[in-house]
């Protein structure tokens, strides 16, 4: 199946960790961005992850409807139908659910997936993220424990965030300061609360200066070596090498060296959104500028239907986004590693 089963998703994570590569996790907001992401993975011969944010789910349901659950599941249904043609395997994930959105988004999704599993079906999504960076660590881990139990019933994997990612995403903002660096003590508290897999598998976003969006050089101080320090300290406590399956948030604009160090320390998933948004939009801008007299009915003229047909500029947008995803696969070393 092109959409990973729970067992295949676990295998994907294990393969990435053992092979020291990571999967690009691409935020999608429409059928067209889903298609662009699938194309990018296929051209790179890489498996990957498609993820939906709460804002992306609302947008997909219709900008005047904003039903985050319906829109999120609709994107998953579209991906499930069209992924058959691409020859790669993808996992479906929901991204950055803060505490105030749990009851209206991730918990209903988990409840629906638990019903699917109880009926002998596969869960729609393979993983969901709880972003506990907006609450104290103790509260973060209490909520994560509850969600880990719900995730196990739904045969999904939980992703948690230990630390704070700076910048803005989906209306949530965090300052760029010392809180952007997870400590080894935070890592120990996490494994003591959630275990090392015996309570259910989870992915961990440890922060090392990560910031959403793109900033000028020097504005963001990434310390990917911190991941290795935390893995070593926690590994000694649980008797396991690189105990955390790590996630790199705020990956847009990172250098190849920073990405490589993070992957070497156990990162198996890197979120990419800002860069792919730009890569999707930039070709559309060029099309409109170059063909302005065709896409606009100027001075009573009729324009050029072939130029304002959404498929004309949509193909360019898809190709631009796919090209950026190929680049991400190469940086993350997942290119050429597809399971299919």
- Known binding-site residue numbers: 96, 131, 161, 212-213, 249-252, 271-274
Q: CB of 92 within 8 A of CB of 126?
A: yes
Is 95 annotated in the active site? yes
Q: Which residues are annotated as a binding site for dihydroxyacetone phosphate?
A: 213, 250-252, 271-274
Length of the chain: 340
For residue 96, what are its two tokens? Answer: 């950055």
Helix/strand number for the chain, H first, E second: 13, 10
Of the residues 14, 47, 95, 178, which is catalytic? 95
DSSP string, 158-218: EEEEES--BEEETTEEE-SSGGGB--HHHHHHHHHHH-SSTT--EEEEE-BS-BSS---TT
Gap between the Cα atoms of 91 and 203, Å rounded: 14
**Residue 173: Cβ within 10 Å count:** 10
- Specify the 3-state DSSP secondary structure of 127: strand
Closest by Cα among 257, 326, 223, 251 to 95: 251
CA–CA dist 188, 182 (Å, integer): 11
In the DSSP assignment, the letter for residue 3 is B
Please identify every residue annotated as catalytic.
95
């Amino acid at each position: 199946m092109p959409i990973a089963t729970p067992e295949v998703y676990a295998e994907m994570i294990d393969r990435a960790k053992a092979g020291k590569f990571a999967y690009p996790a691409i935020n999608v907001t429409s059928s067209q961005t889903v298609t662009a992401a699938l194309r990018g993975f296929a051209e790179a011969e890489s498996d990957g992850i498609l993820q939906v944010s709460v804002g992306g789910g609302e947008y997909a349901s219709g900008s005047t409807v904003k039903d985050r659950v319906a829109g999120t599941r609709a994107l998953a249904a579209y991906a499930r139908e069209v992924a058959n043609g691409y020859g790669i395997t993808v996992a479906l994930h929901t991204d950055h659910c803060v505490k105030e959105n749990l009851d209206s988004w991730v918990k209903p999704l988990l409840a629906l997936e638990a019903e699917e599993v109880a009926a002998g079906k596969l869960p729609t999504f393979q993983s969901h993220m709880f972003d506990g960076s907006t609450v104290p660590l103790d509260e973060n881990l209490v909520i994560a424990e509850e969600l880990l139990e719900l995730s196990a019933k739904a045969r999904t994997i939980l992703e948690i965030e230990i630390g704070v990612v700076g910048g803005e995403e989906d209306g949530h903002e965090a300052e760029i300061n010392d809180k952007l660096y997870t400590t080894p003590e935070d890592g120990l508290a996490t494994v003591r609360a959630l275990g090392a897999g015996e309570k259910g598998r989870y992915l961990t976003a440890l922060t090392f200066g990560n910031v959403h969006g793109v900033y000028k050089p020097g504005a963001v101080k990434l310390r990917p070596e911190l991941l290795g320090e935390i893995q070593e300290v926690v590994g000694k406590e649980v008797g396991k090498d690189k105990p955390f399956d790590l996630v790199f948030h705020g990956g847009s604009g990172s250098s190849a060296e920073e990405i490589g160090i993070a992957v070497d320390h156990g990162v198996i998933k890197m979120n990419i959104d800002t860069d792919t948004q730009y890569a999707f939009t930039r070709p559309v801008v060029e099309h409109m500028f170059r063909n302005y007299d065709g896409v606009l009915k100027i001075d009573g003229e009729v324009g050029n239907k072939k130029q304002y047909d959404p498929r004309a500029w949509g193909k360019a947008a898809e190709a631009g986004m796919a090209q950026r995803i190929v680049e991400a696969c190469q940086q993350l070393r997942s290119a050429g590693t597809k399971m299919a």
